Structure 1
Amino acid sequence: MLEPWRTGIVIKLEDVTPSTRRFWIQIPELEKFDFKPGQFVTLDLPIHEKKNKRWRSYSIASAPDGTNVFELIIVLLEEGTGTTYLFKEIKEGSEILLRGPQGVFTLPETINEDLFLICTGTGIAPFRSMAHYIHKHNIPHKNLYLIFGCRKECDALYRDELEELEKQMPSFHYLPTFSREEPEANKRTGYVHNVYEEILSTGNIEAKFFLCGWKNMIDEAKQRITGLGYDRKDIHLELYG
């Protein structure tokens, strides 16, 4: 059953790159906003007369914490009507009409295999939520590989926080890789595909794959993962854009 539309209030904004912003939204009518890590909300923005042309969906970047506040991380798209509105018109204190949580891009009930969380750009949002949730609730798990494709080091969203989480969770591996940086010691360069293929080349790893980001990356990853002998049903995806 779909949740009703509710009014959210933007209580905090923070720019993390020139084109990426964090939005903290509170839903005053709820005591707590319940969602599963990996789910999304849909915003109804006053940018068009037709409803379906006003709706924009974003994965929730925070883990459920028992409050009525959640976080989104949004990148400003060139000629993107929705993101232009969010960046230019939304201030702290602004109201936003929203519906959620929605979506089935969520963790398995029991985690019996290694999880490969593969993303580009703001596709990191659902995986940040999942990693913190697993840690906070001591959920039994195998290896978690968060493989994050960025252009430059400055694009590695939540980097300090995820490096800290890696220290606290021995089985959590934060693996950013940079497509437009020069190779250096202790820095991965290139695309996400090289990273998971290298890990899987050790052979016979039971794994599930979660893909979130731009279509090109997801299409190529699906092809490569099935090419390695994994089943399509082991691949879950959330498409951006």
Structure 2
Amino acid sequence: MSEQWYTGVVTKIVNETHNTRRYWIRVPEKAAFEFKPGQFVTLDLPIHEKKNKRWRSYSIASHPNGSPEIELVIVLLEGGAGTTYLFNEVREGSELLLQGPLGKFTLPEPMEKDLFLICTGTGIAPFRSMVHHLHLHQLPHPNIYLIFGVRYEKDILYKEEMRQLEAEMPGFHYLPTLSREDSGLWTGRKGYVHSVYEELLADRRPANFFLCGWKAMIDEAKQKITAMGYDRHDIHLELYG
């Protein structure tokens, strides 16, 4: 675990949806920013006198590629001091103080059971990193189901990229699921993420669950997965908010 703080420079900002942005941050002190897919960084933002009220943690959305640059995907939280600062004050060229990589939310070794990557909103970030890493290095893996819940089609992050990965990666299944979409144009899954894994695991085969996103979703998923007969040790989580 790295306790050291680094100065990162924002090299690029892209609006991904109406309320999420992608931030590319380069750490000039490092020749390569080494991390394991699924890890996060903590930003120290100038929004409070007290340290612990300035710190905001975000999963790294990019995969390790030997460069000193990482990508974060961040949703604007209404009334959130951290994201308000990032959205209103930070520009390309801005400096951000960051610490990392941190966290143990990483792929199981060995990967023997089917993997269910269940997320909402920007919770897709660590899973994007994991799947790209597996694909890039052609690592053997079991079936992987990325179940991604958002409200509307316009909220889906990395849609084309995930569809392309699904086409290129045997055993990778991309399952975006919309809870409020009613346009009639959406032909994919509707409802909440829970019905998707419950349906896919009707046979109760061995599985590993990774949950990332809002607390309400994670609490409900933990309850439902254990009710299906899985052990709590099969469940790994990263909480947002």
Q: Could you say whether these structures have the same fold, taking a TM-score greater than 0.5 normalized by the shorter chain as the test?
A: yes
Give the TM-score band, short-chain normalised.
Answer: over 0.9
Q: Within 1, Cα distance between the matches of 2:98 and 2:186?
A: 45
Question: Any residues of structure 2 matched to 1:5-44 within 5 Å, and which?
Answer: 5-44=5-44
* Alpha-carbon shift at residue 184 of structure 1 (Å): 6.3
Q: Is residue 3–residue 101 contact of structure 1 (8 Å, CA) maintained in 2?
A: no
Q: Is residue 180–residue 190 contact of structure 1 (8 Å, CA) maintained in 2?
A: yes
The answer for the alignment partner of 2:63 in structure 1 is 63
Q: Is residue 37–residue 107 contact of structure 1 (8 Å, CA) maintained in 2?
A: yes
Q: What do the CA deviations read for 1:124-162 (whole angstroms, capped 9, x no partner)?
A: 000000000111111111100000001000111000000
Question: Any residues of structure 2 matched to 1:72-111 within 5 Å, and which?
Answer: 72-111=72-111
- Structure 1 residue 188 and structure 2 residue 182: aligned? no
Q: Within 1, Cα distance between the matches of 2:136 and 2:186?
A: 32
- Structure 1 stretches of 4+ moved >6 Å: none
TM-score (norm 2): 0.98
The answer for the alignment partner of 2:201 in structure 1 is 200
TM-score (norm 1): 0.98
Structure 2 unpaired stretches of 5+: none
Q: What do the CA deviations read for 1:59-80 (whole angstroms, capped 9, x no partner)?
A: 0000000000000000000000
Q: Percent identity?
A: 67
Q: Is residue 153–residue 186 contact of structure 2 (8 Å, CA) maintained in 1?
A: no
The answer for the alignment partner of 1:209 in structure 2 is 209
Alignment length (residue pairs): 240
* Alpha-carbon shift at residue 187 of structure 1 (Å): 1.3
Question: Secondary structure at the residue paired with 2:190?
Answer: coil
Q: What do the CA deviations read for 1:36-69 (whole angstroms, capped 9, x no partner)?
A: 0000000000001111110000000000000000
Root-mean-square deviation (CA, aligned residues, Å) is 1.0
Structure 1 unpaired stretches of 5+: none
Q: Within 2, Cα distance between the matches of 1:17 and 1:162?
A: 16
The answer for the alignment partner of 2:124 in structure 1 is 124
Q: What do the CA deviations read for 1:192-231 (whole angstroms, capped 9, x no partner)?
A: 0010001001x14110000000011001100110111100
Q: Within 2, Cα distance between the matches of 1:165 and 1:99?
A: 30
Q: Is residue 121–residue 149 contact of structure 2 (8 Å, CA) maintained in 1?
A: yes
- Closer, same or farther in 2 for the Cα pair 1:185/1:62, shift >3 Å? closer
Q: Within 1, Cα distance between the matches of 2:186 and 2:47?
A: 47
